[in-house]
Chains A and B, each alone.
Chain A
Amino acid sequence: MRIFLAIYLFVVVATLSILGFRGSTSTKPPLEVFPDMDRQARYKPQAENEFFADGRNDRLSPAGTVARGNYFNQQEVFSEDFEDTRLGDTTFLEGKNEDGSFVEKLPIEVTYELIEQGKEKYDIFCAVCHGAAGDGNGVTKPYGVLATNYHDDRLRNEADGYIFDVITNGKGLMLPLNDRITPEERWAIVLYVRALQKSQNTVAEEGI
């Protein structure tokens, strides 16, 4: 019995010292009892795929093609009476008129929801560098990011399409954001930037 108890105690201590306790960090991947169920053979976003030469599941559009709709509106795109009103609409998609000049005014209807959306997206994507007030004092400034202050005459007098174009394609040190912000959201941000400019450049008599 003594021998049994000694072995028993040894096994318990050994298990505890090898397996440790819950919540301790480890770099070892979690145990999967049925790996073929946990990782089934199917297409998953941002996953690996040996079939393609570059090993990626996500495919880029082939060269020379134009995407008709995307992940977010595919239901609509594949419906019977779908008409792509945005296709080739440079005013909306690029902020440029047909002659290549910038669109002067927002090409979509201004609503309260739009400016709310603009604020939301501005605070996510722009405020980091340009600051919540658009004065170029974002949190990244102490780390060496040089961001434009919106409150000067040059930017106040630029066309709306110009701001849209900067968000879309970047400018100077600023990289393009068109992979993260949809055209409609970009217009919403343009509207909000205009509101920010107005907020810092209005005399009391002028009113709103």
Chain B
Amino acid sequence: MANVFPKWVNTIPIKVIIAIVLIKTAVVLGVTYYATPKYTRVGYAPTQPVAFSHALHAGQLEIDCRYCHTYVDRSEHSNVPGSNVCMTCHSMVRKDDPLLAPVRESYESGEPIPWVRVHKTPDYVYFNHSVHVNRGISCVECHGRVDEMEVVEHTKSFSMSFCLECHRNPEEYIRPTEEVYNLDWERPQGADAEAEFEGFVHDWGVNPPQSCSGCHR
């Protein structure tokens, strides 16, 4: 009886195995790399209706975050300033600049400027700005170096592990309350500094929740 199968058929199983291994590796690597907020959220930098530069206002001029985001230390929501806040200076500075036309229009008509939201926690997450900034967690921990951004972009992942990382080790992120709005602050190193930070956590009664209901309430 002649050979039913030609000889090359013998290599099929090994080829199939190699193909499956390759495809699985690619899919696993692809999903791990792409299907995470580190890829989907980080780098989001929408074009805003007015080309407001935080690098100029907060960085170069060192205007305090709370000049515009006034109620961040008292509210769960860090407010976006109304155009009257812009006009406190821009009624004098660059008062005829065409780039600021939407601001002037908004100030005169009362219609808000349609800013595009960059950072957003999903609605099933309870997040309160004031408890964080009043207990020594700086803006920079979640928003990055906004004072160096020409266009605001999403620099942290805002994934659950991102939150938990800090909720598990608050002493690694906590800072003196007077440095919270100083995004340029350099974290001192060494045993003394660590003891001080642990002291903050203890003295201020910082006990960040790690249970589900802490944030998903």
Contacts and interface: CB of A to CB of B under 8 A. Distances in A.
Interface in B65-120: 66-67, 70, 74-75, 77, 79-80, 82, 84-85, 87-89, 91-94, 112, 120
Interface SS of chain A: loop
Interface residues of B, number: 50
Contact of B124 (A31, A40, A71): A40
6 contacts: A30-B37, A31-B40, A37-B123, A42-B123, A44-B77, A45-B79
Interface in B100-155: 112, 120, 122-124, 151, 153-154
B77 A145 contact: no
B33 interface: yes
Interface stretch (A21-29, A88-96, A154-162): A21-29
Contacts of B82: 179
Interface of A: 1, 4, 8, 11-12, 15, 19, 22-32, 37-40, 42, 44-46, 56, 71-72, 123-125, 128-129, 139-140, 143-146, 173-175, 177, 179-180
B77 A23 contact: no
Interface of B: 15, 18-19, 22-23, 26, 30, 33-34, 37-47, 61-64, 66-67, 70, 74-75, 77, 79-80, 82, 84-85, 87-89, 91-94, 112, 120, 122-124, 151, 153-154
B93 A72 contact: no
B45 A8 contact: no
B119 to A, nearest CB: 10
Contacts of B44: 25-30
B123 A38 contact: yes
Contacts of B33: 22
A45 B87 CA distance: 22
A8 B37 contact: no
Contact of B92 (A26, A28, A39, A144): A144
A201 to B, nearest CB: 27
Interface SS of chain B: loop
B123 A180 contact: no
Given A15-B30, A25-B43, A45-B77, A124 B112 contact: no
Given A72-B74, A140-B61, A26 B88 contact: no
A40 B123 contact: yes
Given A24-B43, A27-B47, A145-B92, 14 more contacts: A15-B30, A19-B39, A22-B39, A22-B42, A27-B46, A38-B120, A45-B79, A56-B112, A123-B64, A124-B64, A128-B63, A175-B88, A175-B91, A179-B84
Contacts of B151: 25
For the complex of A and B, the 8 pairs showing the least CB-CB separation, nearest first, are A40-B123, A45-B77, A38-B122, A124-B64, A30-B41, A143-B93, A180-B70, A25-B45
A125 to B, nearest CB: 6
B146 to A, nearest CB: 14
Contacts of A15: 30
A26 B84 CA distance: 30
Contacts of A27: 44-47
B90 to A, nearest CB: 10
A1 B11 CA distance: 10
Contacts of B64: 123-124
A175 B43 CA distance: 36
Q: Which one of A22, A56, A173 has the highest number of Cβ atoms from chain B below 10 Å of its Cβ?
A: A22
